[in-house]
Structure 1
Amino acid sequence: MVVGEITEDKEIVVIGGGPGGYHAAIRAAGLGLNVTLIEREELGGTCLNKGCIPSKVFTHFAQEFKKTKHLKEMGMEFGEVEANLSTLQSYKNKKITQLRKGVESLCKANKIEIVKGSASFLSESRIGVENGHEFSLFNFKQSIVATGGEFHYPEGIEFNSTLVLKEREIFQLEEIPEELIVYGGDYISLEIASVFSLLGSSVTLILNDEFSFDSSISKELFRQLKKQKINVIKNSTVQTASQTEGKVMVRLDKENGEVVSLEGSHFVGSGIVKPNISDLGLDRLGLELTEEGYIHTDYQGRTSIPTIWAIGDVTEGPSLAVKAIKQGKAAAEAMAGLEVEVDLQFVPTVVQMSPPIACAGLTEEEAREEGYSVRVSENPVRGNGYAQLTDEKDGFVKVVSDSETDLILGIHIMGMGAAELITSGVLGLEMAARDEDFRFPVYPHPSMNESLLEAVEGLKGDAVHMPTRKKELAR
């Protein structure tokens, strides 16, 4: 590698073209700043090219595949329905390409300079970019680190990209696994288990920890997994997983000391995301990191070095694209002198399984631990007219409130449209809404939105489509 003498001056340099990076770049450009975006692979990052979008193609496909029985019942006539993953892969790749071209067009329209290569800091105001045999030097006024995270996996799992797979590799299959063993209790593992069960796989889900959902959601989730004939093994740790003679052999240790061996056609393991910062040269700068190895930032994304900002998976918090997007926009606005901040208190948790789950705010257990006088209400989706006519009757809406102030503390949804419906919950939580704030508006009818309304009405026993709450006897 030969370093030339020419160094280019840049105003804003964004390292990483994932959802956080390209949102930051476009927002900064929109505020009149000159932006250079460095990406070593494809724009859109892991989310668009390998993670969020590919996985949601599969979850959408599985949910539509599930509907065929109901559509026949309604009178839609068609032949035997089969799931062709080869065709699905072509569709997935087409959509990824379309979305990536859309991001490229947006960057071009905003006059953002795109530089291919791997970046590393040489000083607090200088960066080097390596692309093959080429090496460029940039002086910058400000920089945003948006390099995302990388998965780390337990030792003993022999990944081989054919039968023993990582979570992203499962969405590259062109045939449905006959017997799929899934290891992990995060949203990715749940989506994988649900998708392939609906498509015809015999699925075993190994959990090494408790779900972090509200207890009511967890209880219903286990019921739904059983309904989908997914075999759940709790409190277990996979010690080894390997391919042997065209099969997968898995050895796991249960919490009670029992050793169990499983055999399947495929195995998929979900890893833990850790910040992708090892090649950035941050050790040269003395940039402050957290105890867990994340880049320490303030509420706007500013690091311990005033010229450098950080967003997304390189910072503490949930490993979600929505976090990176929010932080990216805020950092760009703060660079431009606007007063902004990022508050991740009500980041929604979403699982696009069947039925989907979406939650925001405190669980019932967390609210009690924080000392609130807790009141809860659960409205079963089966009581909703729209859920009945669409045959999407599984799930419920649960609302957690403080009985002394009527403040809404948390909203937990399982059922059709949960990801869309939770937006109303997040908005209410952000505005410190009380039950009357949710009850006052007129909700569309018929729609799943009414389940949220009735769940809030149920806090005081006023929901029409729920059994009247029994009054406690005076003591």
Structure 2
Amino acid sequence: MVVGEMIEERDLVIIGGGPGGYTAAIRAAQLGLNVTLIEEHQLGGICLNRGCIPSKIWAYSARKKSELPHMEELGFKIDEPQLNLSQLLNYKDKITSQLRKGVEALCSGNQVEVIQGKATFTSENKIGVENGHQFDIYQFRKAIIATGSTAILPGELSQLKERVILSDELYRLGDLPERLVVYGSDELAFEVASSYSTFGSKVTLVLPESTGLDPSIEKELLRVFKKKKVKVIKGASDLTVSEGELDVQVKLVDEKGKEHSIEADYLYTSGVRQPNVKDLGIARFGVEQSESGHVIVNKLAETTNPNIYAVGDVTADGPSLAIKAIKQAKVAAEAIAGGHPEVDLTFLPKIIHTTPPVASVGLTETEAKEEAVDYQVGEFSLSGNGYAMLSGQKEGLVKVLSDPNTDIMLGIHMIGAGAIELSSTFVQLLEMAAKVEDLTFPNYAHPSMNEGLLEAVEAISNQAIHQAPPRQKVKA
């Protein structure tokens, strides 16, 4: 190893080039800061190269396949489609490469210095970067940790390597599994179950814990899975897994005490995400961490060391989502540049790219009951929506919760086509503390999926136009 003779000075050094890292770098550069971005592997991080983007390519492909029967109803004769997994893998590589080049071009266009290497804090204001035999030291005024996290197999599965796989291995398989067990109650587990069942795999979805979804949304999602012939096992416990040469054997007990024994080609799990901070050396320089190793930050994404910030999966607040990393990144860059921003994750949308997709923002009915919050509910089935019917996407519903005393919206949840695109509207309405009248007053395009939101709000007072009136109880 050769140690650089000169220490180079920078306004801002960012470690990690994923969504949080490169977003912070570009925003800081836009605000006039001298920025150095250090990435050990590829720009875009796990999200772009091995996580978010590949999984959404699979979800998009599955959704297009699910639309083919309706295309025939519209008059287009289509032969039975066959998935060419090799071609899908090539498409994934092409898209991730294009997106990565786009990030590289944006960094270059904003004059962000990008350095490849492994970074370590050598003092409170210095970072060393190792790349092969080269070792350079950068002195910074401020630094941002954006090193993300790594998924590992949970304790009971950690010794199994061949037939128990994480998303990184799943989206590189050369053959479509005939039988797949999906173990998990998280968003990615649902997406895997949805995509692979659509492709033709025989999928068993094992839910070890609550999904966290509103009960109406969960019920509809599980109904759709049943229609796709996905076997769902709820409240799984006493899990034991053993690997054979060509398969995996799974034994468990469901919430009713019934024992299950399942054979499959693979068992997929999203795993447990661990923050990538072990080799940074931050503990020596006043950066407080949680018991799990996540970095403690405030509303500015600032750590307990005022010169060091942290964003994304490495932070202790909120779930491991790119949208959280992007928001924290912008706030950190703006705060370092002298602004007065703030991170508020109250209305972070929960998005699931199943077919149909799910978007959930704000209080669920379960949470409202647990927190003893007064609420009223409006619910509208998309089977009554004109555009959903004509587009062959009538599965799903919209559900809203509002405060009966103030009429302020508390939560908006949707499963159905267009849910992801509408999620930003849900967030804006809740952020602005919109009232029922704020949703019923505007004009809605017709026909459109947007009308589902309007009619869900109108259903609070039993005034949804395209919904049958509630049955009246008649006394004898």
Q: TM-score with structure 1 length normalisation?
A: 0.96
What does 1:326-475 correspond to in 2, within 5 Å? 326-469=327-470
Relative distance call for 1:238 and 1:18 in structure 2 (3 A) is farther
The alpha-carbon deviation at position 163 of structure 1 amounts to: 3.6
Indicate if the aligned counterparts of 2:246 and 2:265 stay in contact, CA closer than 8 A.
yes
Indicate if the aligned counterparts of 1:159 and 1:165 stay in contact, CA closer than 8 A.
no
Q: Which runs of 5+ in 2 are unaligned?
A: none
What does 1:65-76 correspond to in 2, within 5 Å? 65-76=65-76
Relative distance call for 1:464 and 1:257 in structure 2 (3 A) is closer
Counterpart position of 2:124? 124
Deviates most, 435-444 or 73-82: 73-82
Query: Structure 2: which amino acid aligns with 1:109?
Result: G
In the aligned structure 2, how far is the partner of 1:293 from the partner of 1:68? 47
Aligned residues: 474
In the aligned structure 2, how far is the partner of 1:237 from the partner of 1:285? 42
In the aligned structure 2, how far is the partner of 1:66 from the partner of 1:260? 30
Counterpart position of 1:303? 303
3-state SS of paired residue (2:87) = helix
What does 1:65-464 correspond to in 2, within 5 Å? 65-157=65-157, 163-237=163-237, 239-254=239-254, 260-315=260-315, 316-464=317-465
Relative distance call for 1:473 and 1:5 in structure 2 (3 A) is farther
Relative distance call for 1:473 and 1:360 in structure 2 (3 A) is farther
The alpha-carbon deviation at position 240 of structure 1 amounts to: 4.0
In the aligned structure 1, how far is the partner of 2:262 from the partner of 2:466? 46
The alpha-carbon deviation at position 150 of structure 1 amounts to: 1.4
Counterpart position of 1:30? 30
Indicate if the aligned counterparts of 1:126 and 1:138 stay in contact, CA closer than 8 A.
yes
Indicate if the aligned counterparts of 1:159 and 1:242 stay in contact, CA closer than 8 A.
no
Deviates most, 436-445 or 159-168: 159-168
Relative distance call for 1:238 and 1:178 in structure 2 (3 A) is farther
State, as a whole percentage, how many aligned pairs show the same letter. Answer: 49
In the aligned structure 2, how far is the partner of 1:423 from the partner of 1:471? 37
Indicate if the aligned counterparts of 1:157 and 1:239 stay in contact, CA closer than 8 A.
no
RMSD of aligned Cα (Å): 1.8
Relative distance call for 1:351 and 1:313 in structure 2 (3 A) is same
In the aligned structure 2, how far is the partner of 1:20 from the partner of 1:195? 27
In the aligned structure 2, how far is the partner of 1:270 from the partner of 1:41? 22
In the aligned structure 1, how far is the partner of 2:32 from the partner of 2:463? 53
Query: Structure 1: which amino acid aligns with 2:236?
Result: S
Task: Render the CA deviation track for 1:364-413: whole Å, top value 9, x for unaligned.
Answer: 12223333321001100100001001111111000001111101000010
Indicate if the aligned counterparts of 2:277 and 2:293 stay in contact, CA closer than 8 A.
no
3-state SS of paired residue (1:142) = strand
Relative distance call for 1:310 and 1:135 in structure 2 (3 A) is same
In the aligned structure 2, how far is the partner of 1:102 from the partner of 1:308? 28
3-state SS of paired residue (1:70) = helix
In the aligned structure 2, how far is the partner of 1:28 from the partner of 1:114? 14
Q: Which runs of 5+ in 1 are unaligned?
A: none
In the aligned structure 2, how far is the partner of 1:370 from the partner of 1:207? 24
In the aligned structure 1, how far is the partner of 2:290 from the partner of 2:461? 45
Task: Render the CA deviation track for 1:23-51: whole Å, top value 9, x for unaligned.
Answer: 00000000000100000010000110000
Query: Structure 2: which amino acid aligns with 1:18?
Result: G
Indicate if the aligned counterparts of 1:312 and 1:321 stay in contact, CA closer than 8 A.
yes
The alpha-carbon deviation at position 258 of structure 1 amounts to: 6.1
Indicate if the aligned counterparts of 2:121 and 2:128 stay in contact, CA closer than 8 A.
yes
Query: Structure 1: which amino acid aligns with 2:318?
Result: G
In the aligned structure 1, how far is the partner of 2:174 from the partner of 2:409? 45
In the aligned structure 2, how far is the partner of 1:333 from the partner of 1:126? 22
The alpha-carbon deviation at position 4 of structure 1 amounts to: 3.4
Counterpart position of 2:14? 14
Indicate if the aligned counterparts of 1:455 and 1:463 stay in contact, CA closer than 8 A.
yes
The alpha-carbon deviation at position 95 of structure 1 amounts to: 0.4
In the aligned structure 1, how far is the partner of 2:103 from the partner of 2:238? 39
Deviates most, 385-394 or 281-290: 281-290
The alpha-carbon deviation at position 253 of structure 1 amounts to: 4.7
The alpha-carbon deviation at position 467 of structure 1 amounts to: 1.9
Indicate if the aligned counterparts of 1:297 and 1:310 stay in contact, CA closer than 8 A.
yes
3-state SS of paired residue (2:155) = coil
Residue 62 (str. 1) matches residue 62 (str. 2): yes
Q: TM-score with structure 2 length normalisation?
A: 0.96
In the aligned structure 1, how far is the partner of 2:471 from the partner of 2:373? 22
3-state SS of paired residue (1:4) = strand
The alpha-carbon deviation at position 323 of structure 1 amounts to: 0.3
Task: Render the CA deviation track for 1:133-169: whole Å, top value 9, x for unaligned.
Answer: 2111110000000001111322343677764321232
Deviates most, 144-153 or 394-403: 144-153
Indicate if the aligned counterparts of 2:151 and 2:166 stay in contact, CA closer than 8 A.
no
Indicate if the aligned counterparts of 1:157 and 1:242 stay in contact, CA closer than 8 A.
no
Deviates most, 250-259 or 90-99: 250-259
Relative distance call for 1:291 and 1:158 in structure 2 (3 A) is closer
Relative distance call for 1:228 and 1:79 in structure 2 (3 A) is closer
